[in-house]
Amino acid sequence: MCALLRPLQIGPYVLDNNIALAPMAGVSDFPWRDVCRTWGAGYAVGEMLHSRGDLMGTDKSTFRTVQMYEKAPIAIQLLGNNPQDMARAAQAQVAAGAHIIDINMGCPAKKVCAVAAGSALLDNEPLVAAICQAVVQAVPEAVVTLKMRTGALRDHKNAVAIARIAANSGVQLLSVHGRTREDKFLGEAEYDTIAEVVHAVSIPVLANGDITCPEKAQQVLKHTQAAGIMIGRGANGRPWLFSQIAHYLATNQQLPEPDLKTIHQVIHKHVQAMHQFYGDFIGVRMARKHLVWYAPYLRMSLVQRQQLMAAETPEHQLSVLAQLSV
């Protein structure tokens, strides 16, 4: 492998490459992680799971917990603001088979920040330290990582301080999104702060935010000197982006998209996997958002699009998809 495309080590785990799928609530479930790994993602983190015990048993949480047939290392992301809750949740997930616990300090959603969790935690450095220390001490047999932003406010980017707190607490990898909590997903990600974090700590750092094409991936890696990149929204509807980026980093040449027949096979298989994972009722509905992202490759008429989005059963959804096959 070349200098930019290389294996990524997270604790004792050496991954095939340094291109990761970001944890995204309602998106990066097991079927999507599996698709992205198939297309070259070296690492994938599950969507956030709440650490509070009274919320851990919900149907939604059941889908977000450890899936034993997932390729190792299994990474579970925990959300919360109470060190003891986070520690207990980490122990439960490791007991269930998780190898890596990722702490969420990056989510900017209003309902998350309103309860002082996610990226709201960046405002409270003592609490950041308490959470990191509690989780690391609770699961010494596992690896603990942290997903964060550059700070809470645009005029107060404290990512370097947070990174040092995490590293000193025993966190073994950081993923940094190049926006503050205040930015949410507006404007453009910036990478200067990520570069500062990379040079401030000795643990691996993944650069995240607005990486939507191979050229941008190369640019971000060169600019930040990060150990790797993490891709979220940029891969929605096109999981082959991972293989395109890997090829470009290795050869400096573009890899074309798969042909439409292959793309339709990917879509069909992904939708079937969602039906199987969630069951008929939830599976059909969860598949719809991915079908919206896949839509540019389906070449649907307005009527066909309406039929696809209105499908209520797996059989109907797959039947409409089959009619769109090339």
- Active site residues per annotation: 107
CA atoms within 13 A of residue 107's CA, in its CB half-sphere: 26
What is the DSSP code (8-state) at residue 153? B
User: What are the contacts of 255-261 at 24+ separation with CB within 8 A?
Assistant: 255/214, 260/297, 260/326, 261/325, 261/326
Q: Specify which residues 21 forms β-bridges with.
A: 44, 231
What is the DSSP code (8-state) at residue 3? S
Tokens 């607005």 correspond to what residue? Answer: 210
d(CA 137, CA 233): 33
Q: Specify which residues 50 forms β-bridges with.
A: 79
DSSP H helices in the chain: 30-38, 59-64, 83-96, 110-113, 125-138, 159-169, 192-200, 214-224, 241-251, 260-278, 280-294, 302-310, 314-324
**R_g over Cα of the chain:** 19
C-alpha 7 chain-centroid distance: 18
Q: Which two three-digit tokens encode residue 147?
A: 């997903």
- 251 φ/ψ angles, rounded to the nearest 5 degrees: -120, -15
User: What is each CA distance from 134 to 201, 215, 279, in whole angstroms?
Assistant: 20, 39, 36
